[in-house]
């Protein structure tokens, strides 16, 4: 990543100084990939800082956590007021909050920037999500927007917001990435085990989908993976152990959603699906002990494949709607000013979740920056309505065939819950008050002197309880 970002910046006319603690790597880089380019090297932190033009702009690409703090401390003796430190790793946003405040006290501007797109994106145009001390933005804007991916002529990079906002948005990006990947895997599972299609036919379907509303990087690479055969001519994907790995960013998103009380259900289910996949031994044993339905698909395959495309599209809309709900709530909770149209634009190119439909999200927030929910935008509202019949068919068929669809199912459940004016939480509140005197509030249309509106009420449900209620709080 680091080398490719350096080469990218050099290609755009910037002179870059490269440093690595293993100085032999610097020398090897200068003698090979960087040869003939506007790239110089350094063999110590002191030499590195001396070679930088003021205000110094130092970009770190090191492992998240303590290594970032350690490297910052090694830089500080060699920096001056007004210099800029940029963390381009996958740092957790609370760390970026802390570093912004800590370095501001020392006169140093800190930028925590999400970087997405992998090694190829770093080389030819990543999605960049910078946040932190906004005083740094004028000094790095030209560099970042030059090296970033472009979508319809616009750079997939803009200032996100204060403190850890950049890394927060990257965290949510990664959570949405978890959701997109899980949805695609469920669609693949339905096509393979529900319709009994071979890998090549499934690849053909993904190739077709990639020309429509699902046009995206992840659909594209899924097509390529399914077409790829091993040396013996059989699909490589069929030989891969079904245990998914994870590095924690999806889990961070789910935990933060719980902390903020936001129903980001699809990302949560996607994290749990990876956890379930890790229980390979137990699943193998369970497969011989726990029985499911012995049914086969008997409907119109072509129509069902169309329904599956719509179900995938609708579920993606729900995932992004939930992601932006979380971002909006985080802005209120942490006092950040976030640029929502710019965030959608940043994800349109260069990053893993880049897709054609992010252009529609950008347009939605440009039309109404205060849009309460993506589902309230006419474009997405109409898209959901069009997809709804097929979406419900896919979820019901998954249950009928015994194929797990946690992401499809939770997306549909969220949609039905979100559009329901009266949920059964009234009964839940009654239960809480019955066993723990946790109180409830009365509906406005039923308020009276005994049960006033907006007041915490406890009733003696059995005649044997008391009139003392528990304190009301939200943990």
**Tens place of pLDDT for every residue, the chain, 475 residues?**
889 999 999 999 999 999 999 999 999 999 999 999 999 999 999 999 999 999 999 999 999 999 999 999 999 999 999 999 999 998 999 999 999 999 999 999 999 999 988 888 889 999 999 999 999 999 999 999 999 999 888 899 999 999 999 999 999 999 999 999 999 999 999 999 999 999 999 999 999 999 999 999 999 999 999 999 999 999 999 999 999 877 677 899 999 999 999 999 999 999 999 999 999 999 999 999 999 998 899 999 999 999 999 999 999 999 999 999 999 999 999 999 888 888 888 888 777 888 888 889 989 999 998 899 999 999 999 999 999 999 999 999 999 999 999 999 999 999 999 999 999 999 999 999 999 999 999 999 999 999 999 999 999 998 886 676 666 655 4
Report all structural domains of the chain as residue ranges with CATH numbers, in order of start.
1-159 (3.40.50.720), 170-419 (1.10.1040.10), 423-474 (1.20.5.320)
Specify the 3-state DSSP secondary structure of 224. Answer: helix
CA distance 345 to 366: 10
Question: Helix, strand or coil for residue 456?
Answer: coil
Q: How far apart are CA 384 and CA 418, in angstroms?
A: 13
- Specify binding-site residues: 90, 116-118, 173-174, 178, 247, 274, 432, 438
Residues β-bridged to residue 40: 17
Q: What is the pTM of this model?
A: 0.90
What is the residue-wise DSSP string for 38-103? SEEEESSHHHHHHTSPSSPEEEE---SSHHHHHHHHHHGGG--TT-EEEE-S---HHHHHHHHHHH
From residue 309, alpha-carbon distances to 242, 404, 464 in Å are 24, 17, 57
Q: Is 305 left (phi over 0), alpha (psi -120 to 50) or beta?
A: alpha
Please answer whether residues 362 and 283 qualify as being in contact, where contact means their C-beta atoms are separated by less than 8 angstroms.
no
Instruction: Say what the pLDDT of residue 340 is.
Output: 82
Q: What is the pLDDT of residue 475?
A: 46
Binding-site residue numbers for substrate are 90, 116-118, 173-174, 178, 247, 274, 432, 438
For the annotated catalytic residues, the residue numbers are 170, 177
β-pairing, 127-132 vs 109-116, is antiparallel
Rounded Cα distance, 252 and 326, in Å? 12
Q: Where are the beta strands (DSSP E) in 272-372?
A: none
CA distances from 401 to 241, 292, 387, 388, 405 (A): 23, 8, 21, 20, 11
């Amino acid at each position: 990543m680091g080398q490719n970002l350096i080469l990218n910046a050099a290609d755009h006319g910037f002179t870059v100084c490269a440093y690595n603690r293993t100085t032999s790597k610097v020398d090897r880089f200068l003698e090979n990939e960087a040869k003939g380019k506007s790239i110089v090297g350094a063999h110590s932190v002191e030499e590195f800082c001396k070679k930088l033009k003021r205000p110094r702009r130092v970009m770190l690409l090191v492992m998240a956590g303590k290594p970032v703090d350690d490297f910052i401390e090694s830089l500080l003796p060699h920096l001056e007021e007004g210099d800029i430190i940029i963390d381009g790793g996958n740092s957790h946003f609370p760390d970026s909050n802390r570093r912004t405040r800590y370095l501001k006290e020392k006169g140093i501007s800190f930028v925590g920037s999400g970087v997405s797109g992998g090694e190829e994106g770093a080389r030819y145009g990543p999605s960049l999500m910078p946040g932190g001390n906004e005083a740094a933005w004028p000094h790095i804007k030209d560099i970042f927007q030059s090296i970033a991916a472009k979508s319809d002529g616009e750079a997939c990079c803009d200032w996100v917001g204060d403190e850890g906002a950049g890394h927060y948005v990257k965290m949510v990006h990664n959570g949405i990435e978890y959701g997109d990947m899980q949805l695609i895997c469920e669609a693949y599972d339905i096509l393979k085990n529900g319709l009994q299609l071979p890998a090549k036919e499934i690849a053909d379907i993904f190739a077709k989908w990639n020309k429509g509303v699902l046009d995206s990087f992840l659909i594209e690479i899924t097509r390529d993976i399914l077409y790829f055969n091993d040396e013996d001519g059989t699909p490589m994907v069929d030989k891969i152990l079904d245990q998914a790995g994870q590095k924690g960013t999806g889990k961070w998103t789910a935990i933060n959603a719980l902390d903020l009380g936001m129903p980001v259900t699809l990302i949560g289910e996607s994290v749990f699906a990876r956890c379930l996949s890790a229980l390979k031994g137990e699943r193998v044993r369970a497969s011989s002990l726990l029985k499911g339905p012995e049914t086969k698909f008997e409907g119109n395959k072509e129509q069902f494949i169309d329904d599956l495309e719509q179900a995938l599209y609708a579920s993606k809309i729900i995932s992004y709607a939930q992601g932006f709900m979380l971002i909006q709530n985080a802005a209120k909770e942490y006092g950040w000013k976030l640029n929502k149209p710019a965030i959608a634009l940043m994800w349109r190119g260069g990053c893993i979740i880049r897709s054609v439909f992010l252009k529609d999200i950008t347009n939605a927030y440009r039309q109404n920056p205060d849009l309460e929910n993506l589902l309230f935008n006419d474009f997405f509202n109409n898209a959901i309505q069009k997809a709804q019949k097929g979406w419900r068919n896919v979820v019901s068929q998954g249950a009928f065939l015994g194929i797990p669809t946690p992401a499809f199912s939770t997306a549909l459940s969220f949609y039905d819950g979100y559009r329901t004016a009266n949920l059964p939480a009234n009964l839940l509140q009654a239960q809480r008050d019955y066993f723990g005197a946790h109180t409830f509030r009365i509906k406005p249309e039923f308020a009276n002197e005994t049960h006033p509106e907006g007041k915490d009420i406890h009733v003696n449900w059995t005649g044997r309880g008391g009139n003392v209620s528990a304190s009301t709080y939200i943990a």
